[in-house]
Amino acid sequence: MNIIIIGCGKVGMTLAELLSEEEHNITLVDESPSRMQAVPETLDALRITGNGASISTLREAGIEDADILIAVTGQDELNLLCCLIAKKAGKCHTIARVRNPIYNQEIDFIKQQLGLSMIINPELTAAQEISRLLRFPSAIKIDTFAKGRVELLKFRVRPEFHLSGQPISQISSINSSNVLICAVERGNEVTIPDGGFVLQDNDALSIVASPKNAAAFFKTIGLKTNQVRSALLVGGGKIAYYTALFLQEMKIDVRIVEINRDRCEELTTLLPRATVIHGDATDRQLLMQEGLAKAEAFVALTSLDEENVLLSLFAQAHSHAKTVTKVNKISFTDIINNLDLGSVIYPKYLTADYILQYVRAMSNTIGSNVETLYQILDNRAEALEFSVHEKSPVTDLPLSALKLKPNLLIGCINRNGRIFIPRGQDSIQIGDTVIIVTTQKGLNDIQDILRR
């Protein structure tokens, strides 16, 4: 497809790289010559320096033949204007990044009136991820499918779980929970395991299960499943604001440390039930005075990645809190993983996942759509949810008879609200939604799971 991306910041470049890998025709537009010069030569994309809201710039970018325009500049209003003009000048789908909380209550109205295909709010999406993690603090990462009926949860194997040395085929005998281990990270290696794969302590496991079955499994191996009761947030930006709203709905006590006095006053007005502390979170005495030792969750949300990492390490050393660390840059992902920070969130990857999901759904070849898509295991694998609408080569046959691509698992089937982990005798039916976990990138349609 022909895709125009306006804005070459972190999100724009991440999208360009991912979509280029999937062999879409990418055109990048940005007003800043320096940002355009910083685009890697290895990226296969047309580069245009100009205002994305200018009709002449859009025509130069090929708006008449574009399938999708994605506006992810740093200005909400400019993103909306780019999409509005693109709708008038071409026939493409339009996606806008809108971050200001003022617009949050008006998203549906804006989307309908401007004819937008999608509006994405990275800060709101990140806050939703954080609230899920604090609802189930034993998990490092949680992704949801089937409107919350299915979860993909990641946790690390500890000696006290007594899982080391056991093949995966025996794990299901631990209890009657319907749980599937669909991925294992061991050091720098990622594996989509079969039943004979033997677990080791410190492996990071990803499991697919309903929330109820996941809770039963974790309880059996000795992991806590209760949500936290108190959270200390460091940094008072948009993510902190949205996170506090979600946590207060969950009856979690929220304390926010923010260095900017004016922002503290704003948050006090916006979040009257939260405790807002004006101070520098790098002051260890301040953190201890504000209850770090007793906090059940610590969330580092400052604008500096290095500060967030150090703050989380300090919190782990001086408390038993569940730690969540926001990271924007991904150049040092391998180092961050080795630090064992607990849960790490990458807002730009969350944004890219939602947009990729939409692009994949548009690219489908027959009667199925990508309902949900997540980049998992440090972007080395994907978890996708396909909605099956028509008969295809994968329907009405026992799964054991399908010739699946390597490193691919059918993790779960949702059939009229009934969630089950499929076995070899089960089959995919029209009307199902099917969750696939794979290291194979670029699946657009359910039939893409088959060998060619």
The CATH number of the structural domain formed by 230-345 is: 3.40.50.720
Of 441 and 301, which is predicted with more confidence? 301
Instruction: Give percent above pLDDT 70 in the chain.
Output: 96
Element holding 384 (H helix, E strand): strand 381-388
- Asked if the model's pLDDT at residue 55 lies above 90, the reply is yes
Highest mean pLDDT among 2-16, 214-228, 317-331: 2-16
Pick the CATH number of 2-120 from 3.40.50.720, 3.40.50.150, 3.10.20.440, 2.50.20.10: 3.40.50.720
Which residue, among 318, 359, 366, has the nearest Cα to 442 in the 3D structure?
A: 359
Mean pLDDT score, 257-274: 96
Highest mean pLDDT among 108-112, 148-152, 252-256, 351-355: 252-256
Is the distance from CB of 6 to CB of 86 less than 8 angstroms? Answer: no
- The β-bridge partners of 325 are 300, 344
pLDDT in tens, 341-354: 889 998 888 888 88
Which residue, among 2, 138, 131, has the nearest Cα to 62 in the 3D structure?
A: 2
pLDDT of residue 295: 94
Q: How distant, in Å, are the alpha carbons of 121, 244, 334, 346, 356 from that of 128?
A: 11, 10, 25, 13, 19
Which residue, among 418, 358, 364, has the nearest Cα to 389 in the 3D structure?
A: 364
pLDDT in tens, 283-336: 989 999 999 999 999 999 999 999 999 999 999 999 999 999 999 876 666 677
- Asked if the model's pLDDT at residue 151 lies above 70, the reply is yes
Calculate the average pLDDT of the chain. Answer: 90
Q: How far apart are the first and last CA of the chain?
A: 22
Q: Hey, how many other C-beta atoms are within 10 angstroms of the C-beta on 56?
A: 9
Question: Which three-class secondary structure state does DSSP give residue 145?
Answer: strand
What amino acid is encoded at 111 in this protein?
A: K
- Asked if the model's pLDDT at residue 409 lies above 90, the reply is yes
Is the distance from CB of 397 to CB of 429 less than 8 angstroms? Answer: no
pLDDT of residue 368: 67
pLDDT of residue 366: 57
pLDDT of residue 175: 57
pLDDT of residue 371: 87
pLDDT of residue 442: 84
Q: Does 230-345 match 350-449 in CATH topology?
A: no
pLDDT of residue 364: 66
Of 364 and 247, which is predicted with more confidence? 247
Dist CA 123 CA 99 (whole Å): 7
Least confident window among 52-66, 79-93, 295-309, 351-365 = 351-365
Mean pLDDT score, 115-142: 91
pLDDT of residue 241: 96
pLDDT of residue 365: 61
pLDDT of residue 362: 81
Dist CA 100 CA 121 (whole Å): 8
Least confident window among 85-89, 171-175, 436-440 = 171-175
Q: Hey, how many other C-beta atoms are within 10 angstroms of the C-beta on 379?
A: 16
- Asked if the model's pLDDT at residue 250 lies above 60, the reply is yes
Domain ranges of the chain: 2-120, 230-345, 350-449
Q: Which residues lie below 8 Å from residue 338, measured CB to CB, with a gap of 6+?
A: none
pLDDT in tens, 414-432: 999 898 989 889 999 999 9
| Two structure tokens written together for 9 | 């910041």
Long-range contacts of 52-61 (CB under 8 A, 24+ apart): 52/6, 52/7, 52/78, 52/82, 53/78, 53/81, 53/82, 53/85, 55/85, 55/89, 57/29, 58/4, 58/29, 58/82, 58/85, 58/86, 58/89, 58/90, 59/89, 61/4, 61/27, 61/29
pLDDT of residue 332: 67
Q: Hey, how many other C-beta atoms are within 10 angstroms of the C-beta on 49?
A: 16
Dist CA 217 CA 335 (whole Å): 30
Q: Dihedral through CA 354, CA 255, CA 306, CA 331, nearest 10? A: -10
Pick the CATH number of 350-449 from 3.40.50.150, 1.10.40.30, 3.30.300.30, 3.30.70.1450: 3.30.70.1450
Alpha-helix runs per DSSP H in 2-121: 10-21, 33-37, 55-60, 76-89, 107-114
pLDDT in tens, 159-216: 988 889 989 888 766 655 588 999 999 988 889 998 889 999 999 999 999 888 888 8
What amino acid is encoded at 362 in this protein?
A: M
| Two structure tokens written together for 185 | 């990270």
pLDDT band at 412 (very low <50, low <70, confident <90, very high): very high
pLDDT of residue 273: 94
